[in-house]
Amino acid sequence: MPDTIAPTLAEIANRVLPAGSFGNMADRTIIREGRAGRVWDTDRREYVDFLLGSGPMLVGHAHPEVNAAVIAQVARGSTFFANNEPGIRLAAEIVDAVPCAEQVRFASTGTEADAYAMRLARAFSGKPRILKFEGGYHGMSDYGLMSLWPARPGNAEQAMPDSAGIPESVQAEMLVAPFNDLPAAEQIIHAHRDELGGVIVEPMQRLIPPLPGFLQGLRAITAEYGIPLIFDEVVTGFRLSYGGGQAYYGVTPDICTLGKVIGGGYPLSAIAGREDIMAHFDRAKVGAAGFMPQIGTLSGNPIAAAAGLATLAILKRPGAYQRIFATGRSLMAELEKALVNAGLPALILGEPVMFDALFTTRDRVTDYRGSLDVDKARSQAFNAGLRQHGVFKSESKFYISHAHDARDIQNSITAFSAAAAMLQD
């Protein structure tokens, strides 16, 4: 009888996974391993990695110090569903580093942290509605998936669901404003101040930096009306600076959420904030009516916390952020140069730690609607060209790591020019 041909990993994935994927990357590359600023796929192709696991690997893949911390903790046990030393020490480090953090609660994902943060704001304020900003990403909960990528942008205050399966009633609990439009946000907050339980915003929304005065204005009006201001720092926390986006932009919210970097590549997130607000996690302080239970099997997992502590220790060293920003500035400049030389109209948007090229004739983008005015087909072709020439990234972002070195930069510059040349008419 003829030998049976074993199915490939891609064939197995197509059989056992919806759409043949985990739901994250549209690209079907299967990653086998990562070291420092590079990854290798199962076909042994090597890439400079600017995906970085969607951001957590800020100090690079398989960092020896992070690995050593993880291995040491694995030998002591994987999880306890109880207080543990690495988790307590990580919480203390967050409190020391992040301006708004007086106390911390852990969860496992950014989605959980953002959902808890919105609930916490409602519990503290006693008011039901939350204001978010159009195009802002706050996880995969029903609330987070309101006007994240609306098909009909410009829907004023009315939130629009971006997924099947979300009850219509959730729309009534969310309000939406355009990012970077302070007068519009102030008008909505003023009009709904008696029912608004919180305002949630990414200090840097996706790749769009805040305009001067925008975050300061949000802080002023929410403080005036006693409305909790939440910074979603799952992405920006410990990335823009050691104190996160709130330290980088100089605006302190009441609550923030953290993720990605604080887990060092392992599942971990956090809700942090003022002690009087965080008291709603403590029944003894607020009573049964004000108590907000928060339970998770892996919340504060010691392995993730150990990885996070080791990661933060690396980032805390002198020169760490200067190195990341210098790498990012160099790559932003070279990316722009390659596209200009190829005659391709594009805007480099973001901060040096995370950015992308938007194929557009606009000279600036300040909100979600502006980000839609791009040539998506050209962007997809450029990203495919980068992968073909050994650069791996998401469809929407370059993440820069502390581990990217001179060889990574030079290989990327070569790939930028090659991928841009492929798009020339």
Mean pLDDT of the chain: 95
Q: What pLDDT score does 6 carry? A: 84
Q: Which of 300, 315, 330 is the last residue of a domain?
A: 315
Question: Looking at the structure, do residues 266 and 342 belong to the same domain, yes or no?
Answer: no
Q: What pLDDT score does 212 carry? A: 98
Domain of 347? 9-63+319-422
pLDDT at 154 over 60: no
CA 402 to chain centre: 17
pTM assigned to the model: 0.95
pLDDT band of 25, cuts 50, 70, 90: confident
Identify the CATH number of the domain in which residue 165 sits: 3.40.640.10
Q: What pLDDT score does 356 carry? A: 98
Distance CA 342, CA 425 (A): 9
Question: Looking at the structure, do residues 159 and 249 belong to the same domain, yes or no?
Answer: yes
Q: Are 115 and 348 in contact (CB under 8 A)?
A: no
Q: Which of 275, 297, 315 is the last residue of a domain?
A: 315
Residues labelled as active-site residues = 137, 232, 260
pLDDT at 396 over 70: yes
Q: Which of 315, 349, 369 is the last residue of a domain?
A: 315
Q: What pLDDT score does 155 carry? A: 53
Per-residue pLDDT tens digits for 57-115: 999 999 999 999 999 999 999 999 999 999 999 999 999 999 999 999 999 999 999 99
pLDDT at 174 over 80: yes
pLDDT at 1 over 60: no
Got the DSSP string for 143-199?
TTTBSSS-SS---TTB--B-STT--GGGGGGEEEE-TT-HHHHHHHHHHTTTTEEEE
Residue type, 421: A
Question: Looking at the structure, do residues 300 and 350 belong to the same domain, yes or no?
Answer: no
